[in-house]
Amino acid sequence: MATEQSLILITNDDGITSKGIASLYEAVKDFGEVVLISPDSPQSGMGHAITINDPLRLYPSKLFPGIESFACSGTPVDCVKLGIHQILNRKPDLIVSGINHGANTATNVLYSGTMSAAVEGAMEGIPSIGFSLCSFDSEADFSAAIDIVKSIVESSLKNGIPEGVCLNVNIPDLPKEALKGIKICRQAHAYWEDRFEIRTDQFNRTYYWLSGDFMDIDQSDDTDLFWIAKGYSTVVPTQFDMTHYKAIKELENWNL
């Protein structure tokens, strides 16, 4: 069981004013001492970006009375680094990121600021979880998601997350009674079929907006996309070792 003494760091990528981070705070506040550091503006799609060429600012926030909370001028990964190495006086027992407004299934884990914050936590040896609700609506209903978060946080504090791993949790956008359960699975193989909308600005100069369709080329029955579509929440154990071990042998045959 969680003890009063657990220290929990909260962050996200939608920014400190989002409904998702308020919902995450609601879900974890009774599990221990909570400190919150969140970007001062939306940081979706920032992936594992860090701020190295600009100064970082931290502004104490009044949005979460009763706990220490800050808005940060940087990325989600900056928030984690500032939390661990600047704000907290001891290593946190858990980092939670989210609840993201929108799914971070499949290969989206690479673009996701929410998940990159959790990956950064794992790199620092801290149990870390990213949570996402499969709805981009800024006013989405997080009430069912809050229950899922509580259940996974409780289990994580009890069992301990394996070393070198963080959890990528996606929750379908369904009412509580329609949620089927929780599945542990792998990241689906999918990609964005990108398109660029070409527009012209007021000075008659061309600019481009990134757009596209998400293509699931996996179609297996053991992926996050498969289970989400069936009404299950998914937990993908996510690592930061990007080595493709099987390819090492194949490349050795090149005799470079």
Inter-axis angle of helices 143-159 and 19-28, to 10 degrees?
50
Kindly list the distances between the CA atom of residue 54 and the CA atoms of 13, 80, 81, in Å, as whole numbers in the listed order: 19, 17, 15
Q: Which CB sits closer to a copy of itself, 66 or 213? A: 213
Residue 200 CA from chain centroid, whole number:
34
Q: Which CB sits closer to a copy of itself, 66 or 246? A: 246
Q: Which CB sits closer to a copy of itself, 54 or 66? A: 54
Q: Quote the least distance from Cβ 184 to a copy of itself, whole Å.
A: 5
Q: Quote the least distance from Cβ 24 to a copy of itself, whole Å.
A: 18
Q: Which CB sits closer to a copy of itself, 177 or 201? A: 201
State how far the Cα of 215 lies from the Cα of 235, in Å rounded to an integer. 21
Q: Quote the least distance from Cβ 38 to a copy of itself, whole Å.
A: 16
Kindly list the distances between the CA atom of residue 159 and the CA atoms of 1, 152, 162, 211, in Å, as whole numbers in the listed order: 9, 10, 9, 41
Q: Which CB sits closer to a copy of itself, 66 or 247? A: 247
Q: Quote the least distance from Cβ 149 to a copy of itself, whole Å.
A: 12
Task: Please tell me whether the peptide bond between 99 and the residue prior to it is cis, using omega within 30 degrees of 0.
Answer: yes
What are the backbone dihedrals phi and psi of residue 98, each rounded to the nearest 5 degrees, phi first? Answer: 130, -145
Q: Quote the least distance from Cβ 147 to a copy of itself, whole Å.
A: 12
